[in-house]
Amino acid sequence: MKNQRVLLLVEIAIFAALGYILDMIGFGMPQGGTVTFVLVPVILIAFRRGIVAGLVTGLLIGLLQVVTGRFYAVPLSFEIVILQVGIDYFIAFMVAGFAGLLRPAFMKAYEQKDKMKMALSVIMGVFIAAFLRYLAHVLSGILFFGEFAGDQNVIIYSMVYNSTYMIPVFLLAAFICVILFVKAPRLLLPHKV
């Protein structure tokens, strides 16, 4: 039992470090935002170990970004900066762990050897991860980056702006995760120590 807990903590740490590194690999969009591979390790651990492991991994990725200075904060008061960074980095990456909600559906499809249902459960899990992250960024955009909207409606502006990079993030993560999870489903089966 103790070995299992240690193994879980090690896996979470490894996936968080991998997510942090993969967040550096990508391409910036013309309007801002970056398309990276950061969601893949969060989704992988969430499908492998469950929602809590996914939430913790995402939270650690946000923490790594903040402590290493890889974040953007609004130039306002300290309290507002803390709130904005909390939403854009801690919450936005943490909620991706909810992809684990589809783990039971994936495991059932895996047992039935139904690759189509496996792929669909992965896509739905990735959608949950990307959509919840998108909502966090939209909220932050509405609350803290309204001046960039100019004369436009700040809610619509934030929704459109954040979709310009989150839709490609979703598509990229879905593509990678479907191939990875369907071709190598044993990656999602934790081994006993």
Question: What CATH code would you report for 2-188?
Answer: 1.10.1760.20
In tens digits, the chain (193 residues) has pLDDT values of 678 899 999 999 999 999 999 999 888 876 677 899 999 999 999 999 999 999 999 999 999 999 998 778 777 788 888 899 999 999 999 999 999 999 999 999 999 999 999 999 999 999 999 999 999 999 999 999 888 888 999 999 999 999 999 999 999 999 999 999 999 998 888 765 4
Distance CA 119, CA 179 (A): 8
Structure-token pair, residue 155? 């809610």
Q: Is 161 left (phi over 0), alpha (psi -120 to 50) or beta?
A: alpha
Produce one character per residue of 162-180: b if its CB has 16 or more CB atoms within 10 Å, e if not: beebbebbbebbbebbbeb
Question: With the C-alpha atoms ordered 168, 170, 176, 179, is the resulting torsion angle positive or negative?
Answer: negative
**Hey, how many other C-beta atoms are within 10 angstroms of the C-beta on 16?**
23
- What's the pLDDT score for residue 71? 78
